[in-house]
Structure formats: structure tokens, C-alpha cells
Structure 1
Amino acid sequence: MELFLVLPVAALVWKIYQLTQRPGDRPLRFVTLCLLCATLSYPLAMPGGASGMDAVAGHGAAKIMQNVLLLFTVYSLMCFYLFSAEAPGARRRARVEAGVALAVAVTITLAAVTVPHEMFAGSFATADMAVPQIATFYAGAGLYLMYALGTAAWWTRRYAGMSRRPHSTGLWVTATGLWVTATGLGLMAVACAVRAVFVGVRWAGGTVPHPVMTSVAKLLVVSILLFVAGITYSGARARVASLRIWLRHRRAYRRLAPLWELLATAYPENVLRPASQALFDRWRARGVHRRYHRRMVECRDGLVDISPYLVGEDEDPAVLGGAGAADLAARLRRASVRIGGGVPAPRRAVPVAIGLGPDRHADVSELIAVSDALRNTEETS
């Protein structure tokens, strides 16, 4: 189970990074707080994390902390919807909800610390619900979670469609993200509702089968993971798309190298000054994209300058329109030799290697084809 902690930790690290970039973004602040509380509560639900916490802070501390963190997880979720949709009176409602969450947290904490450690020992499955403080602890936390999750679900339907991007993307615009998030919230609400019923049954003197209670505990852990996955789905999908573009631009940048080197040698004044000299700029997405576009512009400017040399004196300049990549590569090599020899331009510039498509990708494809032809001629010579 410890391996599943990687997902919420990765999501939290990403949200913290986004928050450092946009510190004044209130919805992002609350969704980060929500993920922080959920991430911290997750290891406390596991036996190893609970025993470690109890060994440091005293017996029962892990149980108290886990429930308090869950309270503020769902409180932060409500505030996320309030502020992302700019709901009327959002700040006042957030303060009221904070007071309610704090009151419940104080109540369950006092209930837990006013009973002997022996009575508070064990798990939800073994606790003596006939003790009023124990029943108050579990019932108070469960009822607040039911209220908060129900309110969050209602606000989801009312506000998420009005939320500003990018906050609403993973919850409404992206169907998969909406489904996973809604599933996580629904499972959390179900788990809390069932646990509240268990408290009532056991307080009245009844019993609940241990396998049933264990299944509900696992359901709560799984629901937290689903919620974290859903709320970060759009960001993860965007990162995958960004990685694909990064790889495509980096590959195109390297494939344009033969053409760029020939044109940069002929016209060094066309080479633009790098915008950044940072050590890791060559690997950063922004740096890769910037170098790719700069190289494309430098190649296009160089082709404009060298184009008068590509057509012989007895040839029609229109011949370049139907020239293939291999033909253009051969003409470019002859032209570079003429430029190196100081031969003046025989005519005006003409269009060279113009893509047939309406977008920049078609233009880049033509440049890459010529560059690949230059590389092939280098390898065969």
C-alpha cells in the first residue's frame, strides 16, 4: 500500500510548484491545501504510519490527526469550489465553514483526550462505542464528512461549470477527470455514511462483522486516491501533451541542423542571439521550444538570402517550385560554394521550400526534408 503514496505526493508537489508560480491564486491555494491534507492523512490510515505517529506523539494521536486532516481536506474542497466559481459571499461562507470545521475538530479532539488510552486503543472496528466520548469522536467526524462531501457534491453541480479555467478543466471539461473525481467523492461519502451507521448500531449494543468494517476502511483509502487522481487528471494529461510537443520540437531542432549549419556559415549575421545562457535551458520545455522556433526562423531567413544563387543564369526561377528535396540540397551546396567565392547575387530572392499546408507544420516539414537530404549527401560523400 505504501507504493500508492507516490500518486498523492506527486500531485501535491506539482500543485505546490504551480502555487509558487501563482501565489495569489486563491482557488489554487485551497486545492493545494486539500491535496496536502489528503496526502498527510493517507499514511496515517496505514498501520505503519499510525504506529509511528503514536510512538512519537502518544497513543491515539495518529487517529486524531487523521480525522482532523480529513475534516480540513473536505473543507478545502468546498472552498475550492466557492472561490473558483467566484460565488457570491464566498469569503463569508468560507469563514463560516472554517468555524464549523474547527468546532468539529475541537469536539472530537476533546472527546478523544478525555478517555483513558486503553479505551481509545485499537481501531474503529475494535473501539467501544458504548463510551459516549468514543461514539462522539467517530460520529462527529463521520457526520461532518458526510455534510461536507454532500455540500461539495452539490456545489460541484452548481459551480464547477462556471469555474474559471484552468480550475474547472479536470472537473467538468475533461470527462474522465470529472468521472474519477465524482467517483472519489461519492465513495468517500458512502464510506462516511456507512461508518456513521456502524457507530449508531454499536452504540445501541449491536455488532458489525469485522470483514465489513475492514472493507469500508479500505474503501475510504481508495476513495482518497481516486479523488487525488481525478482532480489532477487534466494537469497530468496536459503534461503528457506537453512532453509530446517537447519531443517533436527537440527532434525537429536536431534534424534541421545540417540546413542550419550550411546557412549559418553562409550568412552568420542571420543567427539570432540566444535568449538564455542558463545551464539547464537546453532541457527545459521553454528553452527547447524557443530554440526550435529560432532555428526555424534562421533557416527561413537564410533561404531567402541564398535563394538568388539557387537558379542558374539560363534557368527560370519557377523551377524551384517543383524542385525536390534532393535537388534543393544539391543546389544549396553549389550556392554556398559560390557565396564563399564572393560571387554577387545574380537576381532577386525567390520562394524556396514553401510548404503546401496552411499551417507552420507543413513549412517545417519542407525544411526538414531539405535538411535530411543535406545530411544524406554528407554521409554518401
Structure 2
Amino acid sequence: MSVPNLAMWCASAVASAWKGSQLVRLPDDKGLRVITACSALVFLALTAQLAAGSDSAARMPSDQLPKLFQNVVLTFFFALLIMLLQSMVDSEALGSHGPVEVVIACATSCGLIVAFAAADTNAAGFSYESANSTAALLFYLIGNLYMAYATMRGAKLARRAADQAQSRVRLSLLVAGAGLVVCCLGTHVPRIVSTSSRLVFQRDAIPGTATWTTPVLAIGIAVFFLGIGYPGARTGLVKARLWFRDRQRYRQLWPLWSALYNAFPDIALLPPTSPTRDALRVRHMRLHFYRRVIECRDGLVCASPYLDDEPTNSGSSTHRLRAALHRSLTSKPSAAVSVVAEPTESGMEADIDQLLELSRRLSAE
């Protein structure tokens, strides 16, 4: 089991699981369904590739059977991918080009099956690096011919689709297309030349393709998946940044919120949790943060009838608030209403900034 093969398998497993989780949330997204199917097909193909190199393969009727399965699955993966990209470039042309891609994939699969059946697959000479029989060489030639066609056509369609797409999707398609070009020129074209020369001239025109093309293929697949995953990864990074910011501000509001809640328990929109559980809160951070903002502002409204008439300034607002909270336990509210932490500008963020500043001063005292 080589490191590049294992790296490709891990990348495809992550991509397949990620797209599957997105499909669960958005089951009606047709484009996402196709991308998820493509990712799953790549995962199955690379799983078969690992199985072909494992010890368990020796117990199969042919220890090269997973290799046939891998190549057949990849043909249908690229047929789906090309059809998806064609729909993005020209949806009207999909009706004429789509069946052609299916026919090419089926013809390639049939050719692979026939060559596989004719070859002595249990012989040591069936592996790519040591293949010497006509049937074995044809098997690899057919597979690489189709892969060269599919990767180059996929890269061309990805480029055309990028020209019609918005900025983030454009970059994603360009990166994915670049990965397909790397696979085509760095792996499949050299292997076509190698197998053709071995088949016709009984010598290898490009020695060592079994060794150096595999890492190049791994790089191309990694770049391809990077392109596919870029929009989702970028969205995930933005969401992570917002989560950390909301969590930080949620914790910063704790001194103000706890002081107001102790005086006015009715401000809690939901039953409060323990400080330990509150500190370990992870899910729905934005919802909990804005709920705490609302509760803090409600608490200040409840405290406003107990405030004295001392002018508000940065040095006295916390003192006035603490005095008001203490007064609320023993005195009746007055008719006058004062405001603490009044925003100087309109908007939710200005209000949040004033609450955070007040909470920080309470915590510092």
C-alpha cells in the first residue's frame, strides 16, 4: 500500500463524507446530488485500488479484480462529471452530449472487461509495470486513453464554466480544472505512450512511469478535490471565525448578564444553565449570543426605574447600575426612566458594543 494511494483514498473519503452530509441537509439540490455521486464513485474506485494491493486480494478469484472494478467505476465517474460540467456550460447541449458520454463510458467499460477476461490476471505480468501480454497492455491502454480524454474534456468544460461563473465558483472550477490537467498530462498521457510503445515496439519509450506517475496522479486528484471543496471550505472558515467571535462576546457578556439575572430572573428567555455548562457551550453559538444580548438589554430596561439621576459617564455607569440593582430589592420603582449603555449610533452592533463595554467595566471592578 503506497503512501500516494493512501493519501488519495483519504482525500476522497473526506470529500465523499462531506458532500454526503451536505446532501442530507439539501436533498433537493440536483447539482449537489451529482457532485456527491461523483465523490462517492471516486471513493469506491480508490477503495478498490487499495483492496487490489492488500493481502485480502489474494483470496479473490482474481487478485486483480478490484483493479477492473476501479477502472469501470472511474469511467462512469467521469461521464457524470462531464455531464455536470456540460450542464453548467450549456444546459441545452446536455441532451445531445449526455448520451454520447454514457455511450463512450459504456464502450470503454466493455473494452476493459474484454481485455481483462482475455488476460491471465493471476500472472505476475498483469501489473502495469510488468505487463507484457497483449491483453494486459490493451487493458491499461484502453483505461488511460479514456482517462486522458475525460480529464482533458473535463478540464476544458471546467474552464468554460468558470468563464460564466461568479468569483468564488470561478476560482473553484479553475483549480479543479488544473487538477484534471495535471492528471492528464502528468499521468495518463505518459502511460499511453509507455503502453503503446510496449505493445507495438516491445520496449518502453518512457521508462519508470509506474513509479513517478503515481505521485503526480495523487497531486492532480488532491488539486481537483481542493477545487471542488474550496467554496465549502471558505464558507466553513467564515462560519468558524464568526463562531469564535460570537463565543468570545457571549462569554464577555457574562458579568453583566449574571448581575441583571440575579436581580430580574424573568429576563431569561430560556431556563439558565450552570456556569460550567455555559462555558462549554458549542452548538448554536450565534443564537445563544443574541439571546444573551436581548436578555441584557431587557435587564437594563427593568433596572432603569431604579437608577438615580446622576449623569452618565464612563466612571459612574457601573456604580449607578449596581446601586440600581441593589435598590430594586428593597425600593419601589420611580416614574422616571434613565438609560444605561445608550448606543451612540444606530444599529445592533452599536448596541452590542455598549453592552460589552459595560460588562467589561463590571468585571474589572
TM-score (normalizing by structure 1): 0.82
CA distance in 1, matches of 2:58, 2:66: 6
Determine if the alignment matches structure 1 residue 340 to structure 2 residue 329: yes
Farther-moved stretch of structure 1 (111-120 vs 251-260): 111-120
Q: Is the 8 A contact 2:257 2:292 kept in 1?
A: yes
Give, in angstroms, the shift of residue 195 of structure 1: 1.4
CA distance in 2, matches of 1:224, 1:41: 13
CA distance in 2, matches of 1:169, 1:134: 45
Q: Is the 8 A contact 1:181 1:231 kept in 2?
A: yes
Alignment of 1:159-238 (within 5 A): 159-162=161-164, 171-172=169-170, 175=171, 177-178=172-173, 180-190=175-185, 191-205=187-201, 206-238=203-235
Q: Is the 8 A contact 1:171 1:181 kept in 2?
A: no
What letter corresponds to residue 83 of structure 2 in structure 1?
Answer: C
Question: In structure 2, what is the equivalent of residue 17 of structure 1?
Answer: 21
CA distance in 2, matches of 1:115, 1:169: 49
How many pairs align? 354
Give, in angstroms, the shift of residue 29 of structure 1: 1.3
Q: Is the 8 A contact 1:171 1:230 kept in 2?
A: no
Question: In structure 2, what is the equivalent of residue 311 of structure 1?
Answer: 308
What letter corresponds to residue 201 of structure 1 in structure 2?
Answer: S
Question: In structure 2, what is the equivalent of residue 371 of structure 1?
Answer: 359
Question: In structure 2, what is the equivalent of residue 259 of structure 1?
Answer: 256
Q: Is the 8 A contact 2:159 2:174 kept in 1?
A: no
Give, in angstroms, the shift of residue 220 of structure 1: 1.6
- Cα 1:362–1:55 change in 2 (3 A) is farther
CA deviation vs aligned residue, 1:155-207 (integer Å, no higher than 9, x gap): 212224445xxxx77641xx4x4553233111111121221122221111132
Q: Is the 8 A contact 1:308 1:349 kept in 2?
A: yes
Question: In structure 2, what is the equivalent of residue 144 of structure 1?
Answer: 146
Give, in angstroms, the shift of residue 48 of structure 1: 7.0
What letter corresponds to residue 193 of structure 1 in structure 2?
Answer: V
CA deviation vs aligned residue, 1:32-84 (integer Å, no higher than 9, x gap): 12222223333544587455445335221122122223222322322332345
SS at match of 1:232: helix
CA distance in 2, matches of 1:123, 1:138: 9
SS at match of 1:107: helix
- Cα 1:137–1:27 change in 2 (3 A) is same
Determine if the alignment matches structure 1 residue 117 to structure 2 residue 121: yes
Question: In structure 1, what is the equivalent of residue 12 of structure 2?
Answer: 8
- Cα 1:192–1:50 change in 2 (3 A) is farther
- Cα 1:252–1:346 change in 2 (3 A) is same
CA distance in 2, matches of 1:213, 1:183: 22
CA deviation vs aligned residue, 1:80-100 (integer Å, no higher than 9, x gap): 323456712535643442232
Q: Matched residues, percent identical?
A: 28
TM-score (normalizing by structure 2): 0.85
CA deviation vs aligned residue, 1:289-322 (integer Å, no higher than 9, x gap): 111111111112222332343332xx4xxx33xx
Farther-moved stretch of structure 1 (246-255 vs 55-64): 55-64
Determine if the alignment matches structure 1 residue 330 to structure 2 residue 319: yes
CA distance in 1, matches of 2:90, 2:354: 48
Q: Is the 8 A contact 1:112 1:120 kept in 2?
A: no
Farther-moved stretch of structure 1 (135-144 vs 22-31): 135-144
Structure 2 gaps of 5+ residues are 272-276
CA deviation vs aligned residue, 1:104-125 (integer Å, no higher than 9, x gap): 1122112101222255744212
Q: Is the 8 A contact 1:27 1:79 kept in 2?
A: no
- Cα 1:359–1:151 change in 2 (3 A) is farther
CA distance in 2, matches of 1:87, 1:214: 40
Farther-moved stretch of structure 1 (102-111 vs 40-49): 40-49
Question: In structure 1, what is the equivalent of residue 274 of structure 2?
Answer: none
- Cα 1:50–1:182 change in 2 (3 A) is farther
SS at match of 1:117: coil
CA distance in 1, matches of 2:7, 2:153: 31
Across the aligned residues of Structure 1 and Structure 2, the Cα RMSD in angstroms comes to: 3.0
Structure 1 gaps of 5+ residues are none
CA distance in 1, matches of 2:55, 2:178: 30
CA distance in 1, matches of 2:175, 2:67: 27
CA distance in 2, matches of 1:38, 1:271: 50
